[in-house]
Structure 1
Amino acid sequence: MRWLDHREPVSEALRGAIIALGNFDGFHRGHQAVAGEAIDWAHAEGRPSIIATFDPHPVRFFRPDAPPFRLTTLEQRQELYLGAGATAMLVFHFDAELSGTSAEDFITEILIKRFGAHGVVTGGDFTFGKGAKGNVDLLRGFGGEHGLESRIVSPVEGEGAIVSSSRIREALREGQPELAAELLTRPFAIRGIVEHGDKNGRELGYPTANLHVESYLRPKYGVYAVTGKVLATGEELKGAANMGIRPQFEPPKELLEPHFFDFSGDLYGQEIEIAFHHFLRGEAKFDTLDDLIAQMDKDCEEARRLLSAPKA
């Protein structure tokens, strides 16, 4: 799948595309509806389809000290967009130059001249250009006057309300990975490189693969039933993971520490992806290590049960 940079012109083969415009970080059900409309439109007219995203997220540019909130990495987004059937992913590198581009110039200079876009698809709340002055009305009016067609996709409802990235983030912060998965159409997943740790888990009889969470949103600290995937081999694993600062040990260190059942291989240096399925309990400090081990036994037993249960 092509990975395009908004600062560079596209090849002739990709000109005349239909572009799904948005940030599409989580690529949830609402985002999928926008992308699906763009892909279907492109297929109907024999055109390429492009899904756009912004990196860094505009919030990160304007508020660099904001707590981490990303739901996906660019690599994960590229795989999701490819799976949806898009021809290419377009990355808008959000910097001072892009943030200072007027909404009109964004349409004429970037979308039309640089990319030769035939049409764009957005959600109704999409804004763009300096001061976020651009909106769907400008796309329809000013864009239409310059030959750019546009379509607007209505919000998607799920689990009693509009599907949004903010709802998904709230669900994860509250320890509701099942709700997040319903809105995303897949479990929330953190990807990272397995690093050497202090071997506490191994000494307790529960060796773990240690990952730094980096720019991802922090789900509620605690223990989860998870699945893991080794990206190099595609091997899939089941386990229980602690997400948090490990209050039993000093000094506090934020890590995602999955323990995989019935696995004895070496994962150091491997890139893995951990998917969050069920929240088991919050983080806690125990009176003794024996108490911690007894609780870990219960956590793993419950995680095995939940992950082996037939899906509804």
Structure 2
Amino acid sequence: MRVVSVQGIPQEEKGSYVLAIGKFDGVHIGHQAILHQARSLAHNQSELAVVSFTPHPVYVLTGDERYRTWLTPERDKSRLLEQFGVEALFLIQFDAAYANVTAETFVREHLKRLGAKSIVVGADFRFGRGGQATVEDLKSLASTIRVPVHVVHHVEENGVKVSSSNIRDHLLAGRVEAAEALLGRAYSLTGVVEHGDARGRTIGFPTANIGGIDDYVLPKNGVYAVSVDTSVHEPGRNWFGVANLGIRPTVNGLSRRLEVHLLDYSGDLYGKQLRVSLLRRLRDEMKFASLSELTQQIRQDCLMARIMLGLSSLQE
């Protein structure tokens, strides 16, 4: 998939595109409905492209630190979009100047330059200066450049609209199963194994310290059953494991870390890129009186993860 960084007025594209427009943070089941509609319109006559934005517009406009991070940073967003048949991603660099682009300019100049043949958006899409233009405005403006607009109604789960904000809320509360239902896949974070303090190895539970995940929305601190892809660029090598996300209070940790123990794995992971998918929440992070108590709890966590993942049973 071709990823094009767009700053200011886009370069004129020679191709013809069905453009799906939105932030697409999470590429959740609501976004997937938009992509399916766009894919059906593209057929073999034009390419499917996504127009998205970075940094998050809410962060640029309000400075809200919650939106400094993403459910799917750019590297994950592009990977997932490609899996849904997207052939080009036009990533608009959103800043204060771009926030002042009028609705008319966005449609008649920017989208036209991006080769729009058709446009697909969600029903709550807003655009233009102040985000005041609606899908009806989009239809009206796009008609002046003879481009049809297709509006996809939002997807609901239990009567509630699926949204990136709802998924963020689930993750911050530790409800990874609920987040998975809305994403259509387990929530995952991709990072590189860094050297830590090697304390896990000394107590019989070696862990991989995952770095480079500061741009993700991090779930509530705690212990999780996980699936780990140990070969991100060659999918298919997966291991179940137990992950701790938090500050490690028993050893007086100060920084927040994601540490993963892979069940039944032996080998050197330092420097490797891993994708950690959060499957089930096991418990809150706790402070123990001693390393011995911590070791016993980790043993119980591993047993519970094995049971939940079908690797063991209470009868064994």
**Preserved contact between residue 28 and residue 183 of structure 1 (Cα < 8 Å):** yes
Assess if the C-alpha contact under 8 Å between 1:24 and 1:52 holds in 2.
Answer: no
Q: Does 1:81 align with 2:66?
A: no
Q: For residues 55 and 139 of structure 1, what CA distance do their matches in structure 2 show?
A: 21
Counterpart AA for 1:127: R
User: Conserved in 1, the CA contact under 8 Å of 2:195 and 2:209?
Assistant: yes
Cα pair 1:55 1:91 within 8 Å, conserved? yes
2:200 corresponds to 1:201: yes
Amino acid at match of 2:62: R
What residue number does 2:98 align with? 98
How big is the shift at 1:270? Answer: 1.1
Retained in 1: the 8 A contact 2:119–2:149? yes
Distance in 2 between the 1:233 and 1:87 partners? 21
Deviation at 1:11, TM superposition (A): 4.4
1:141-152 paired onto structure 2 within 5 Å: 141-152=140-151
Please report how far the alpha carbon of residue 160 of structure 1 lies from its aligned counterpart in structure 2 after TM superposition: 3.9
Shift of 1:16: 2.1
Checking the alignment, whether the CA contact within 8 Å between 1:69 and 1:169 is kept in structure 2 is no
Distance of 2:64 and 2:162 partners within structure 1? 26
State the distance in 2 between where 1:207 and 1:284 align.
19
The aligned residue for residue 269 of structure 1 is 271
Report the alpha carbon displacement of residue 243 of structure 1 after superposing the two structures with TM: 0.7
Paired residues of 2:227 and 2:276 also in contact (CA < 8 A) = yes
- 2:240 is matched with 238
Q: CA deviation at 1:288?
A: 1.4
Equivalent pair of 1:202/1:208 in contact (CA under 8 Å): yes
What does residue 136 of structure 2 align with?
137
Deviation at 1:209, TM superposition (A): 0.9
State the AA in 1 paired with 2:91. V
User: What amino acid sits opposite 1:257 in the alignment?
Assistant: E
What CA distance in whole angstroms lies between the structure 2 residues aligned with 1:120 and 1:259? Answer: 45
TM-score (norm. length: structure 2): 0.92
Deviations 1:123-153, CA, capped at 9 Å, x for gaps: 1111112111222011111221221210100
Q: Within 5 Å, which residues of 2 pair with 1:6-21?
A: 6-7=6-7, 8-9=10-11, 11-12=13-14, 15-21=15-21
> Shift in Å at residue 9 of structure 1?
2.2
Q: In the aligned structure 1, how far is the partner of 2:311 from the partner of 2:105?
A: 54
Distance between the aligned counterparts of 1:118 and 1:11, measured in 2? 12
Residue 294 of structure 1 corresponds to: 296
Larger CA deviation: 128-137 vs 292-301 = 128-137
Shift of 1:309: 6.7
Tell me, in whole angstroms, the C-alpha distance in 2 between the residues paired with 1:298 and 1:52: 47
Deviation at 1:50, TM superposition (A): 0.5
Q: Are the counterparts in 1 of residues 61 and 96 from structure 2 also a CA contact under 8 Å?
A: no
Counterpart of 2:150 in structure 1: which amino acid?
A: R
Superposition deviation, residue 269 in structure 1: 1.2
Q: CA deviation at 1:284?
A: 0.5
Task: Write out the 4+ residue segments of structure 1 that deviate beyond 6 Å after TM superposition.
Answer: none
Distance 1:160 1:303 in 2: 32
Change (3 A) 1:279 1:124: same
Letter in 2 for 1:110: H
Residues 280, 299 of structure 1: 8 Å contact kept:
yes
Segments of structure 1 that go 5 or more residues without pairing to the other structure are none
User: Which AA in structure 2 matches 1:286?
Assistant: F
Structure 1 residue 65 displacement after superposition: 5.0
